[in-house]
Structure 1
């Protein structure tokens, strides 16, 4: 069994090793590429890391942020060298492939990883898991399913796809087509300005958290760093973009990621047409799943809208939690607030 390696994206040789291993992985998910972690990290002192192990028993690729608590919360912390781990926005976890013996690989990987976290003074770990559980290494910590997500299987004929969406979707797709709406695939971000205008207005309408207001530089960096792993999809009314979406692309799956609709054109339901055309395009590209995601809360309007495209494709969105140093975890939680929300994980990050 090869030794555990924890690669860092800011070290040239380790970054190259990370990308090489990512290129070998069957999933090649955008969420696990070092550039994705760099683009979505919220602070410069969040180290973009990837724990790897490879042997005859299989290979593991586990990207995450190593976050330095002292620099985030100031000099008053009782544990000056404490850190914690979290996966980036989206889906992640310990991807594994070529598993001749999954139990042996899991035992070896988590044993070595936990030794590393002890040396690094890691207090806790939080993972947002991939919806495709068979791609992941078994997890030794607590697993919860706070929400449901929607996955549209594309392993159907076009007629079957049409029949499996809810009636209201079929009605809205017809309305969009009858209104002359056309959908185009933009693989290079040529209409980024149009996308941004719609996206920011959609965030305003939804009273979104400030962290979702990505600017032009953010998207330009995204497009440069992840070329070939995304496309923009635009619903057009003549020369006007009336709905737009950023879609992430992996070998097997595509992901509805960020987007919105011009409210002046709600009546023509361009977003329903856009998503149905994404399904058809992705199927033609040989993809197997279109991941629509979920809502902000259980059974909210956003979730119900997405569910209408795949009523039989509901899957649990799972998160993993581990307290790796219970003493320091308790001291940090106590230092933050006497009324800390213990239901939030990790408790010391509760607002």
Structure 2
């Protein structure tokens, strides 16, 4: 059991809710109460109150174990889903209660995996935020044999790939690059041995020669990767990209018109237009700077706390946090809890680490 702890940055969650209520008074409409209720549910109950309940009643190892099991379970389920759909034409999603269609196809060939999410991109969001810490904990388990760890890790990785989420893949790569850059100063030059680099050259040459004499493989790979590359390059000939860009353009125009207080919570729904498919933009459109600033400050303060952490899993949390905040740049559904749960787990794990170190130092003395 852990002592109940709230951080200074949590104050900005309360400021955020207060700013939403203030926005509701400034720009009231038929959806104001609904949206305030939704934000209150997510940030007060699903974040602050849940955080307190977890701190009070759950051991950090139990929490990490549950997350690990959930990630593995979803990975196995998605592999089953994809295999049945692709090889046998059986869509397991048809047997689950759903509020949306589940017919997304990648490249006109591969069925995209949903898992238990409303769309494949949300499943990728889950894998990117809570997946890394789940796999990290798996590899920490000494009782599990290495070959089993490897198999389970491959299952989760392949499951992530079968969502065929451009955003998921791009944000995975970006998060890895950002974390690597942030850790450049920690990398010792002595660890980079010239001999190891030279040993890689024959392997790279073999791969290049093999591919050169197998143009069919290259053509198939190009056909496979092109849909993702088109979205990454914001190719307007791709329907989803064109729609997203038009929404962003409309959102920016709305922000220019009402930058301080926004147009009111729920105004986008009432206008008949879709959301901005970017939560930060969507929030700014509806609540203005008074709504978005507390959120940005909250996230920046958490990032700073992550950077200062000395926990051995710091970089895993940092990777997942960056991926999580990037995902909200392409979706407006703030109620998906993955990032908020990740923050809770990080706080809990980091505080547990500090207590362990404190006890170790006291024992030494």
TM-score by length of structure 1 reads 0.21
More helix per residue: 1 or 2?
2
More strand per residue: 1 or 2?
1
TM-score by length of structure 2 reads 0.21
- Bigger-Rg structure (1/2): 2
Higher relative contact order (CA 8 A, sep 6+): 2
